[in-house]
Each structure stands twice: as structure tokens, then as C-alpha cells.
């Protein structure tokens, strides 16, 4: 009675609706969208991450090179640990690399700014520096390493508090 | 003076009678849930004409409304350096308001008017009376499948509308205007909650579907069986269901989102 074509179209319509629901639900429940290509993970411990979120961008000089993949709390010292997924195109960060939590604009979202520090590669300059500081050769950060030089997010209330405290001192 | 009282009484009685007829039609449709063997083919046919054929207009308008929202939102948010909040802006306005309401208005114009005209013409050509003559309940055979088809397809259409709108906003915001894709999705995910936003939106669409199909079916079933009567019934369907949707939207929003 009902032609097969109509049944197929209705099936298509209903599955499209369910698909839309799944897409909307996954948007909320945080599904992995995007990020293709090979990546490696670095970690960093902060005192305060402000409003940094999972999937926030990681930038070097404004260029996005990766994303935050997870934020957790270290149970031993109750400091937040941020895991960063960085494209393997940029895999020669040295252990002098610094990472800051920065804000784009006044009200904008927060992101991680990487500061590469001493670059590895030009052997002459490296050797001189190493001689100067009496260090062993600089290590390259590999998958799973911690970046030790971190600076926390600016929290406006703390800033205002400090300002008031300083004013009171004068 | 007497004539005034008489007119008032007459119009009141007519109003009440029409509410009564509408309610009995609704009950007839509600309690005649199509049984699986006989009703499913009828329901599928209606799902096709009510739901699938409305798909194009819903997808196209969802896409364009999402793109326009992204453009407008971007211009304002950019002034505060908060382009990253484009995602939640678009997602929340689509899921909470625009998805349910615009889909309902489109649905009233596209499917509601068609339902009224179809049933009205059936009445004018005495097909409904013929069914009764053959001891077939027109409520069961004609009205119930259309009612349930509307109730099923409208929420699906609204979900498709919202999803396509968000994709359209992504297209304009991320691919054209250069909002960061990670913050577009991550801030959206942080702001949108499934229970509060998506589920409340679905509840809204179910209420709107109920209103629109009820008004459309009643207007068709109760129309004056002339060509003029059908045209005025179709107009009434579109006008009344649009107004009902907008009015109920305010009430539902006040209940759901005002804390």
C-alpha cells in the first residue's frame, strides 16, 4: 500500500533527526572533533589555571600549534596538571621552554602561550651557551615530559587585591 | 439591547461549541493511537508528507539563520575581544529559542496549512461522510495518523534545524571569519547543558507540535465545506497556530529559563 520509496524517505528523515540529536548531545558531552595529524603530549603544572578549558588552543607567537587535551588535579600537592597535545611538526622544544596562561582581549578566552626558550639545532651557539653555563647539553622535550617553567593565569581579583595592598602600604 | 445580549450569548455558545468539538477531535486523535498492523502504513505516508517534505525548507532556513547569527554575533563580540563566545551565543539561541520557534512557524506554514486544506477538501467533497457511511471512523483513519505524524516529525525537524544552524555558524565563524575552532566548540560545550538547553528545547517543540497539528486538524475538520470556507480555514490555521506558538513560547520560556 505504502510504496517502498516513501518508506525509505521516512527512514532517511527519522535517522537524520536522530543524527541531529546525537550531534547536539555530543557537542555538550565533549566529543573529539577536529585535531588531525600526528601529535605528542607535554604536561605542565600550574598554580592556578583560571578559566582554561579542555580544547583551548596552544600558541607560539600567536600561531596555534596544539590543543589542551585534559586538565586534572595532582593529588599529592593539589596543583592542576594540564596535558597539551602538540603537533609533531614542532617537536624540538628544549627543556628551557616556558608556558604561560594568557588571555586574548579583556573578556576573551584563555589560551596557553609557549615560549620556546633556547632553541636546539644550531650546534655552535648551543655549545657556547653550554660552556658558559657549565651545563650538559640541553634536552629535547619528548612525549609525556613536564614543562617546569610555568606562569599561572592572571586572576583579576588577586591583581586588585595586590594593588589595594600596595596602595595601603604607601 | 435585547439584540446585544442575544449576540453575546450566541457567540459565547458558538465559542464553547467549537472548543468542545476541538476537544473531542483531539481526544479522538489521542486515543486512536494507530495500531501497528493497520495504522503504520497510514502513519508512514503522513510522516513522509508532513516530515520528509518539510526537510528542505527546514535545512535551508536553519543553515542561513545559523550563518546570519554568526555574522551578526561576530561583529558585536569582536568589539569586546570575545569572538570565542560565538559558539555558545549561536548554540544557545538556536537550541533555546530559534530552533523550536522558527521550525514551528515554518511547520505551520508548510505542513499545517496543507493538513487543513486536505481535510477541508475531503469534507467538501463528502469523503468524510462516505467513510462514516462505510462505518469507518474518520477520526481513526484520517485524523489520528496526521496528528501523530505531526507530533513525531516536528521535534525531529527542530533538532535538524538547530544542528544545521550550528554547522552553518561554524562555517561562517570559523572557516570565514577566523574564530578559533577549538574555542568555538569548547566554550560551547562548557556553556550548553543537555538537560537545561537541549531537553527544554525538545519539550518546547513537542508543545508546539501539539498546538499546530491540533489547530490545523480542527480547522480542516470543522471548516465550512465550500471553496471559500477552505481558504478561510487555511488562513486561520496559519494565523492562529503562529500566534499560539509565539504566545506559548513566552510562557514556556518564563517557566523554563527564568530562575
Q: For residues A77-102, give the mean pLDDT.
A: 86
* Matching residue, cell 508546539: B208
Q: Is the pLDDT of residue A130 over 90?
A: no
- By the 8 A CB rule, do A84 and A42 touch? yes
- Which pLDDT score is estimated for B182? 81
Chain pair A-B, CB pairs under 8 angstroms: 115
CB-count burial class (<10 Å; 0-12, 13-18, 19+) for A5: exposed
Whether B186 sits inside 8 A of A54 (CB atoms) is yes
How close B45 comes to chain A (CA, Å)?
Answer: 7
Task: Give the per-residue pLDDT at A132.
Answer: 61
**Pick the residue with more confidence: A154 or A9?**
A9
Stronger pLDDT, A57 or B99, i.e. the higher one: B99
CB-based contact, B143 to chain A, within 8 Å? no
Kindly report the nearest CA distance between residue A116 and chain B, in angstroms: 22
Q: Strand pairing partners for A60?
A: A63
Question: Residue B85 gets which letter from DSSP?
Answer: G
CA dist list (Å): B83 to A47, A63, B50, B80:
27, 17, 39, 8
CB of B166 within 8 Å of any CB in chain A?
Answer: yes
Phi and psi at A70, nearest 5°, equal: -155, 150
Per the CB < 8 A criterion, the answer to whether B95 and B192 are in contact is: yes
Can you tell me the ipTM of this complex?
Answer: 0.71
d(CA A50, CA B176): 30
Q: According to the model, what pLDDT value does residue A136 have? A: 60
Q: Which of A17, A27, A108 sits opposite B156 (nearest CB)?
A: A17
Q: How many CB atoms lie within 10 A of CB B173?
A: 29
Put simply, the chain A residues between 89 and 148 with a CB less than 8 A from any chain B CB are: 104-109, 111
- Side-chain-facing half-sphere of B251: CA atoms under 13 Å: 9
Please give the backbone phi and psi of residue B183, each rounded to the nearest 5 degrees, phi first: -70, -30
Q: What is the mean pLDDT of residues A122-131?
A: 56
Distance CA A70, CA A81 (A): 8
- The SS3 assignment for A94 reads strand
What integer is the mean pLDDT of A161-168?
84
**A34 interface with B at CB cutoff 8 Å:** yes
CB-count exposure of residue A80 (10 Å: 0-12, 13-18, 19+): middle
Q: Answer yes or no: is pLDDT of A33 > 60.
A: no
Taking the C-alpha atoms of residue B113 and residue B119, their distance in angstroms, rounded to an integer, is 10
Output the pLDDT for position A32: 42
B213 neighbors A61 (Cβ within 8 angstroms): no
Query: Taking 50 as the threshold, does the pLDDT of residue A31 lie above it?
Result: no
B145 to A161, A167, B35, B49, B89: CA distances (angstroms): 66, 75, 10, 12, 38
A110-115 and A98-103 as β-strands: parallel, antiparallel, unpaired?
Answer: antiparallel
What is the C-alpha separation between B141 and B36, in angstroms, rounded?
A: 13
For residue B192, what are the contacts with CB-CB under 8 A and spacing of at least 6? A27, A28, B88, B91, B92, B95, B198
- Mean pLDDT estimate for chain A: 78
Cα separation, A132 vs A140, whole angstroms: 19
Q: Give the angle B241-B244-B247 at the CA atoms, nearest 5°.
A: 150
pLDDT of residue A129: 59
Q: Cα separation of A38 and B37, whole Å?
A: 54
Alpha helical stretches, state H, chain A: 4-29, 123-133, 156-169
Spatial distance between the Cα atoms of B137 and B141, rounded to a whole number of angstroms:
6
Q: By CB neighbour count within 10 A (0-12 exposed, 13-18 middle, 19+ buried), where does B201 fall?
A: buried
Q: How far apart are CA B217 and CA B171, in angstroms?
A: 39
Cα atoms found within 13 Å of the Cα of residue B170, Cβ hemisphere only: 17
pLDDT over 50 at A12, yes or no: yes
Per-residue confidence of chain B (259 residues) as pLDDT tens digits? 888 888 888 888 888 998 898 888 888 878 876 677 777 888 889 999 999 999 999 999 999 999 999 999 999 988 887 888 898 899 999 999 999 999 999 999 999 999 999 999 999 999 989 998 998 888 888 888 899 999 999 999 999 999 999 999 999 999 999 888 888 888 888 788 887 888 899 999 999 999 999 999 999 998 998 999 999 999 999 999 999 999 999 999 999 887 6
Does B86 contact A at CB distance below 8 Å? no
pLDDT for A119 beyond 90: no
Q: What residue of B is the nearest CA neighbor of A58?
A: B182
Strand residues in A89-132 grouped as ranges (E): 98-103, 110-115
For B144, the enclosing helix (H) or strand (E) is helix B144-170
Contact check, Cβ <8 Å, B190/A53: yes
Per-residue model confidence (pLDDT) at position B3: 86
Cβ contact B160–A108 (<8 Å): no
Amino acid at each position: 500500500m505504502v510504496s517502498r520509496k516513501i518508506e525509505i524517505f521516512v527512514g532517511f528523515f527519522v535517522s537524520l533527526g536522530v543524527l541531529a540529536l546525537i550531534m547536539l548531545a555530543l557537542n555538550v558531552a565533549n566529543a573529539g572533533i577536529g585535531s588531525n595529524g600526528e601529535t605528542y603530549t607535554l604536561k605542565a603544572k600550574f598554580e592556578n589555571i583560571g578559566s582554561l578549558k579542555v580544547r583551548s588552543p596552544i600558541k607560539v607567537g600567536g600561531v596555534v600549534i596544539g590543543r589542551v587535551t585534559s586538565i586534572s588535579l595532582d593529588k599529592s600537592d593539589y596543583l592542576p596538571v594540564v596535558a597539551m597535545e602538540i603537533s609533531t611538526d614542532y617537536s624540538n622544544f628544549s627543556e628551557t621552554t616556558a608556558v604561560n596562561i594568557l588571555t586574548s582581549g579583556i573578556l576573551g578566552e584563555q589560551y596557553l602561550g609557549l615560549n620556546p626558550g633556547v632553541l636546539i639545532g644550531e650546534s655552535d651557539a648551543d655549545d657556547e651557551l653550554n660552556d658558559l653555563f657549565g651545563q650538559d647539553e640541553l634536552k629535547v622535550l619528548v612525549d609525556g615530559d613536564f614543562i617546569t617553567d610555568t606562569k599561572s593565569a592572571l586572576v583579576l581579583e588577586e591583581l586588585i587585591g595586590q594593588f589595594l595592598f600596595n596602595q595601603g602600604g604607601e | 439591547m435585547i439584540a446585544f445580549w442575544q449576540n453575546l450569548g450566541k457567540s459565547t455558545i458558538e465559542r464553547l461549541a467549537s472548543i468542545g468539538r476541538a476537544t473531542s477531535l483531539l481526544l479522538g486523535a489521542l486515543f486512536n493511537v494507530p495500531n501497528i498492523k493497520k495504522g503504520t502504513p497510514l502513519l508512514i505516508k503522513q510522516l513522509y508528507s508532513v516530515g520528509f517534505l518539510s526537510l528542505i525548507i527546514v535545512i535551508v532556513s536553519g543553515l542561513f539563520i545559523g550563518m546570519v547569527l554568526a555574522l551578526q554575533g561576530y561583529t558585536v563580540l569582536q568589539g569586546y575581544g570575545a569572538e570565542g563566545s560565538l559558539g555558545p551565543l549561536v548554540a544557545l539561541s538556536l537550541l533555546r529559542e530559534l530552533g523550536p520557534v522558527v521550525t514551528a512557524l515554518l511547520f505551520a506554514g508548510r505542513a499545517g496549512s496543507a493538513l487543513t486544506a486536505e481535510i477541508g477538501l475531503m469534507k467538501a467533497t463528502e469523503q468524510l461522510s462516505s467513510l462514516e457511511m462505510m462505518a469507518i471512523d474518520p477520526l481513526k483513519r484520517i485524523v489520528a495518523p496526521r496528528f501523530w505524524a505531526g507530533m513525531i516529525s516536528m521535534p525531529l525537524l527542530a533538532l535538524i534545524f538547530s544542528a544545521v544552524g550550528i554547522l552553518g555558524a561554524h562555517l561562517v565563524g570559523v572557516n570565514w571569519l577566523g574564530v578559533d575552532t577549538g574555542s568555538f566548540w569548547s566554550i560551547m560545550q562548557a556553556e550548553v547543558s543537555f538537560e537545561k538547553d537541549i531537553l527544554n528545547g525538545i519539550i518546547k517543540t513537542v508543545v508546539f507540535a501539539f498546538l499546530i497539528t491540533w489547530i490545523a486538524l480542527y480547522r480542516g475538520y470543522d471548516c465550512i465545506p465550500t471553496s471559500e470556507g477552505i481558504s478561510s480555514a487555511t488562513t486561520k490555521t496559519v494565523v492562529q497556530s503562529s500566534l499560539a506558538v509565539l504566545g506559548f513560547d513566552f510562557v514556556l520560556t518564563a517557566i523554563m529559563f527564568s530562575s
